[in-house]
Structure 1
Amino acid sequence: MAPLEDLCAFTAVARHGGFRTAARATGTSASRLSEAIRRLEAQLGVRLLHRTTRSVTPTEAGGRLLARLRPVLEEVDQALEEVNDWKNTPAGRLRLNVPVSASRLVLPRIVPAFMAAYPDIELDVVADDRFVDVLAEGFDAGIRYGERLEKDMVAIPIGPRTQRFAAGASPAYLDKHGWPRHPRDLLRHACLRGRFSSGASPAWEFVRRGETVKLEVNGPLVVGLGGTVDLAVEAAVAGAGVVYLFEEWLAPYFERGELEPVLAPWWPRFDGPFLYFAGRRQLPAPLRAFVDFVKAFDRDLPPG
């Protein structure tokens, strides 16, 4: 009988389509996974994976093995989770995929208290602007906004129920270039834009009294909607142009007077984020603990 560790390694590599991706998802090394696959193929006497410089895909034999292994390994996971239920506190690893905005604006209020309540849970958070399949990428759950939720997932609110996008510019910039009075005035201003990893740049949207204005703005700086967003904010503070971002992100700069609110009556509201996960029959203990904690945390928040 092949070792369970090697079978799990094969399943991870086949599911993630590569050794490095599978290594990140499972918390091990690509070389260790590769050695496990070599042992398994040698023991079975068949090739299980096609390997190229660009991809790793199952052979016909590997595909059949994968199809049979998946339900078996899911049963093993569920059996271990049932044992976990007997512990006084849940333990194990919880992997979350979240947008950068959630890692900055939502999770800091929740994570410290959750870690204190569940010291045996290892929380692994990846901030990413890509729209990923959380299960295929090896995550237990994710945080996304309503328009990006997958239909077959369970979703619960996490964080504020509504949010706004805000525009801001430094006093020096506005003194030099003037105040926009209507969103279309921004077409004549230097706008500091964001771009997804896909290459798409979201439009700037403004809403007032039933009128919606969407703009494809231009400007001297484009930043990735990930770790480089702060560069756009600092550039705006330095007088380089107008920045458009979550209101909570810009609020400290407004309070300190480093930025001035621009077109505030036009700032659009939208529904807040959701924690989403697969509707499994039995959730892994760390995920179940986090879901329950988020629900309780939300109930304890003061109204408004």
Structure 2
Amino acid sequence: MATHLADLAAFVAVARAGGFRDGARAGGGSASGLSEAVSRLERGLGVRLLNRTTRSVAPTEAGARLLERLGPALGEVDAALDVVNGFRDRPAGTLRLNVPVSAARLVLPAIVPPFLAAYPEIRLEVVAEDGFVDVLAAGCDAGIRYDERLEQDMIAVPIGPRRQRFATVASPAYLDRHGRPQHPHDLLRHACIGGRFSSGATLAWEFEQAGEVVRIHPTGPLTVRVGGATDLAVEAAIAGVGILTLFEDWLRPHLDTQALEPVLEPWWQGFSGPYLYYPGRRHLPAPLRAFVDFIGLKR
């Protein structure tokens, strides 16, 4: 049975990673070992689970159905084995977090180093992406998202700053050439650096002052993928390409050096900070419990 479980875990690792090499990198094994385990599983079940090409690996229909059922089941096995952690002096194991790029940049740097120093036997894996995912199906223990994107059946714990703002900025040189907007609607006549989600939807900009909310869809010469190409957008704004809206904390170093100038600051919209979220269940894996307790102490 132990060998069978190991083969099932190998299949899940490869299917989630989209390849044997990436699956081995994520799990710390070898690509050849995973390939052998998956082939053994397929022979035992008498059905192909993965379609393999020279460029990609993807589940067959049978593999997709198996993966859908296996994720939660193997999670329960891990949770059962994790009970042993309660008898250790210090928790150990792997904690996997799925977070937006903004949290990886603005929230976790102040938390991760002291957490790992406090729990040296915990191994932390962080996946940074801005699409909303099912954390269990993605093989993660918990995620970080903002409250408007949290599922109702999740437990949410505040993490990081409790209030944040979106800041609108541009280089002084750009504003000297094109003028300084006095109202959000003025942005429609400016070159704006936009953002696009992985879903293909463009990022709207919202402004608020004295109860008035203005929502615009900016246009301009540059649009970047939200999260992954944000640093490019910032550098383009500094170079004078156009006006940018982004997390104030992300832009603060450039505001302090005056490489970027605030635009429409009285209209900057505030919002509540992010949350660590995870499935509600009686027994939390020891690494996740340690992390939840740790951020509770940091608040």
TM-score (structure 1 length as normaliser): 0.87
CA distance in 2 between partners of 1:66 and 1:232 (Å): 37
For structure 2, the residue ranges without an aligned partner over 5 or more in a row are: none
Corresponding residue number in structure 1 for 2:47: 47
Give 1:89 shift: 1.1
CA distance in 2, matches of 1:281, 1:242: 48
Which whole-Å CA distance do the structure 2 matches of 1:39 and 1:294 have between them?
A: 43
Report whether the alignment pairs 1:56 with 2:63.
no
Letter aligned with residue 185 of structure 1: D
Pairs within 5 Å for 1:3-152: 3=3, 4-12=5-13, 16=16, 18-19=18-19, 26-29=27-30, 31-42=32-43, 44=44, 46-47=46-47, 49=49, 51=51, 55-57=58-60, 59=62, 73-152=74-153
Aligned pairs (5 A) from 1:128-277: 128-277=129-278
The CA distance in 2 between the partners of 1:212 and 1:248, in whole Å, is 22
Q: How many angstroms apart in 1 are the aligned matches of 2:124 and 2:75?
A: 21
SS at match of 1:166: strand
Secondary structure in structure 2 of the residue aligned to 1:281: coil
Which SS does the other structure have where 1:59 is aligned? Answer: helix
Quote how far apart the aligned CAs of 1:25 are: 5.6
Change (3 A) 1:260 1:110: same
| Offset from partner CA, 1:213-238 (integer Å, 9 cap, x none) | 11111111111112321111111111
Q: How many percent of aligned residue pairs carry the same amino acid?
A: 62
Q: Secondary structure at the match of 1:265?
A: helix
Q: Is the Cα–Cα contact under 8 Å of residues 90 and 121 in structure 2 kept in the other structure?
A: yes
Structure 1 residues 45 and 82: CA distance shift in structure 2, 3 A: closer
Counterpart code for 2:197: F
Following TM superposition, by how much is the alpha carbon of 1:34 offset from its aligned partner in structure 2, in angstroms? 2.9
Q: Output one character per residue of 1:257-294: Cα deviation in whole Å (capped at 9) or x when no partner.
A: 11111001101111110001111221111111001101
How far has the Cα of 1:207 moved from its partner?
0.7
Amino acid at match of 1:157: P
CA contact (8 A) 1:23 1:29 kept: yes
List runs of 5+ in structure 1 lacking aligned partners: 299-304
Contact 2:208-2:268 at 8 Å conserved across structures: yes
- Structure 1 residues 243 and 268: alpha-carbon distance in aligned structure 2, compared to 1, 3 A threshold: same
Q: Does the 8 Å contact 1:25/1:137 carry over to 2?
A: no
| In structure 1, C-alpha distance between the alignment counterparts of 2:245 and 2:68, rounded to whole Å | 46
Instruction: Calculate the aligned-residue CA RMSD, in Å.
Output: 2.6
Q: 1:9 to 1:173 in 2, by over 3 A?
A: same
Q: Distance in 1 between matches of 2:173 and 2:180?
A: 11
Deviations 1:225-256 (A, max 9, x none): 12321111111111111110001111111111
TM-score by length of 2: 0.89
SS in 1 for 2:87: coil
Following superposition, the deviation at residue 204 of structure 1 comes to: 0.7
Q: 1:57, 1:64 → 2: CA distance?
A: 10
TM-superposition CA deviations, 1:6-42 (whole Å, max 9, x none): 133245557x495457556645455433321221333
The residue type paired with residue 59 of structure 1 is: A
Q: Per-residue CA shift, 1:144-163, capped at 9, x if unaligned? A: 01111112111111011111
Give 1:186 shift: 0.3
- Equivalent-residue separation in structure 1 for 2:42 and 2:238 (angstroms): 58
